[in-house]
Structures are given as C-alpha cells and as structure tokens.
Amino acid sequence: MFFDKLEKTILPPTTVMNSSVTDVTDTAVASVSTLVARHRRNSEGLQIIDCVDGNKIITMNDPELYNVANSLQKKAAVQCLNEYAQKIHWKNIGDSAIDLGCGDGSVTVILKKYMPSNYKKLVACDISEKAVKYANEHHSDAATMFRVMDIQGDLPEEMNSAFHHVFSFYALHWIRNQEKAFRNIYNLLEEGGDCLLTFLGYTPIYSVYNVLAQCSKWKSWLKDVNTFISPYHDMQDPEKKVTQMMEEIGFRNIDVKVKEMLFVFDSVEAIKNTVKAIEPFHMPKDVYEEFIQDYYTAAQEIGVIEINNNNIGESSINCKYCLLVVCASK
C-alpha cells in the first residue's frame, strides 16, 4: 500500500534549515519597514518570513518559475474578469487601480486588457522584492508600475483613498491577518470605489499536504503546514464569514461567491510544476523530487485529482477547487 511506504522518515537536515536563516537586515525584510522579522530562504519557489507577532508571510521567491507554471491562475483570472469586469464601475475618465499581491505581473497584464484604454494609473504591489523587480522589468509602462508593499501592513500615507478600484487575484489566502488586509482594501478605495478579489477556499492541494503531514516520512518537513493553508479551506460557510467581516469594516454592495473551478492539466509534469511553483516547505531538490512523487500518488489515492487517459497513451488530469470571488464597493 502507498500509505505504508510513508512510514519511513525523511528528516529535514538541521544544517539545511539553519543555513537558510538570515537576519533582519536582509534587504527583502528591510524594505518592508513595518516587519521586524527573520526570514528563511526557500531553495524553490517561495520565501517564508516569520514576523514577530508569530504570523508567517509567504512570498514569491522565484517569479521566473511562477511565470511558466501559472496557467491555472491566469485562466481563473480571465474567467473572473469575463464575468465581473462589467460590474466594475469604470469611470472612463482616467481610472486608477491597484492590484494586490501581483507576483510576476502576468495577471496584472491580463487585468490591463479589461480596463478602459485611457486609464490613468495602475499600481501593482507585492511583498516580494524579487517578484516586483521581475514585474517591473517585464511589464511596466508609463501608466503601470510595480512596487513593494505588504497587504497586511500599514499603508503608505499617499495611498489612502487613492484608487477607484482595488483588485487582487490568488493572493489573499496567503494572508494571516484577513481583517487588516480587508481594512486596507477599504482604505485604499476612494468613496464610491469598488473591488474585485479572488482567493482560494477549499483546495485539494491543501488536503494532500494535510495527509502527507500526518505520515512519519514527511511530518517534519510539513510541520508548519497550517500556516500555508487558506484560512477558508475547511470553513463551513466562508461566504458568510467574509460578508460579515466586510460589513463590519463598512463595505457596501457586498457580493461573495464560492465558485467551483475545474482546471485540466495536460500532463503529469504540468501539475507537478504548478505544485512546485507554490510549494512552501524549503525542500532541497533531491528531497523535493521524492516528495512530489508521493504528493502525486497521494493525490490520486484520496481522489482529489482524476486522471483521464486517452487511447494513445496521453493523460490529462482534472483538478477541482473552490475560489472565493468578492465584489464590493466603499
């Protein structure tokens, strides 16, 4: 049985963990002045910052990798924008917008296509300096700029009430302090402004992490697993919870929906790359290769992915998940 094999233990070598700790003077942390943190480098896609308040921030450490493994995120952004862009109250006289947690900037580029062509300003921000640098190098122009900013930190003064629209795609589930992030979104908006936000609810990738976290083989690597799981993954009624929080903050016209999404990966390699681009466990390459094999097998055994084989030996993989889509105004 597959799960019996997982009783063998693979321990994270202390040397790897210790050598990856740097002190608070590191540039990525220093640029986000509200954080007093120590941070650990991930050899793969992400970087984890441990804050003094005990919260962890997951940031993008490898925008190049994300850029070639984010088809799922790009497809979902297009689907949501197709459905919701006409509900946004575009001013058509020089709209200003902000995209929170923009990562490599490829979804910001998609967003631009839905904005009136005479928009005045599009600011996209991310807590990861590397992601912002990559996005600025590849996607900035006269009206579009990328900058480092923490969605759950204190907002720069000049950003208060500075935007007609706030967008965020696939980022808010990484935020531990949801209330602060939503309050910030409210404060970024001018009176009458609106927001469109998408973030993960129930997601099979997290269920697989939970299963592997209980096996002695992966337990030590996945000990912080709860930190990386969307706060809405196991929630009974996330629509109600988000609506209540937004009402208390003062939002109006709140529309929160949980959408069941299906993404079809066209190869085993494609799903493995997607998982790798958002894998937060600091695994060195050789350990990660074994992990992803077990991940894939566990995902099949617990039924969170379905494999379709055609008669010429190719497989595609169905992956279902839930996306929270929020539209509201100030």
Ligand X SMILES: C[S@@+](CC[C@H](N)C(=O)[O-])C[C@H]1O[C@@H](n2cnc3c(N)ncnc32)[C@H](O)[C@@H]1O
Tokens for 112? Answer: 């631009």
Shortest reach from residue 320's CB to ligand X, in Å? 18
Nearer Cβ to ligand X (98/127): 127
Chain centroid to Cα 159, Å, comes to 22
Question: Which residues of the shown chain bind ligand X in the complex (CB under 6 A)?
Answer: 57-60, 70, 73, 77, 101-103, 107, 126-128, 131, 150-152, 169-171, 174-175, 278
Minimum CB–partner distance for residue 166 and ligand X (Å):
13
> How many Cα atoms occupy the beta-carbon half-sphere of 293 within 13 Å?
10
> H/E/C letters for each residue in the chain?
CHHHHCCCCCCCCHHHHHHCEECCCCHHHHCCCCCCEEEEECCCCEEEEEECCCCEEEEECCHHHHHHCCHHHHHHHHHHHHHHHHHCCCCCCCCEEEEECCCCCHHHHHHHHHCCCCCCEEEEEECCHHHHHHHHHHHCECCEEEEECCCCCCCCHHHCCCEEEEEEECCHHHCCCHHHHHHHHHHHEEEEEEEEEEEECCCHHHHHHHHHHCCCCCCCCCCCHHHHCCCCCCCCCHHHHHHHHHHHHCCEEEEEEEEEEEEEECCHHHHHHHHHHCCCCCCCHHHHHHHHHHHHHHHHHCCCEEEEECCCCCEEEEEEEEEEEEEEEC
Residue 176's closest CA among 277, 54, 69, 287? 54
CB of 4 to ligand X, least distance (A): 34
CB of 1 to ligand X, least distance (A): 34
For ligand X, the closer of residues 60 and 208 by Cβ is 60
In the complex with ligand X, which residue's Cβ is closer, 20 or 227?
A: 227
Q: Which is nearer to ligand X, 152 or 207 (CB)?
A: 152
CB of 305 to ligand X, least distance (A): 19
Closest CB to ligand X among residues 10, 60: 60
Cβ of residue 135: shortest distance to ligand X, in angstroms?
A: 9
| Entry field: residues in the chain | 330
Closer of 45 and 215 to ligand X (Cβ)? 45
Angle at 261 between CA 312 and CA 64, to 5 degrees: 75
Nearest one of 288, 319, 289 to 303, comparing CA atoms: 319
Q: How far is the CB of 16 from ligand X (least distance, A)?
A: 22
* Shortest Å distance, C-beta 230 to ligand X: 11
The distance of closest approach from Cβ of residue 180 to ligand X in the complex, given in angstroms and rounded to an integer, is 9
Judged by beta carbon, residue 37 or residue 171, the one nearer ligand X is 171
Tell me which residue has its CB nearest to ligand X.
Answer: 103
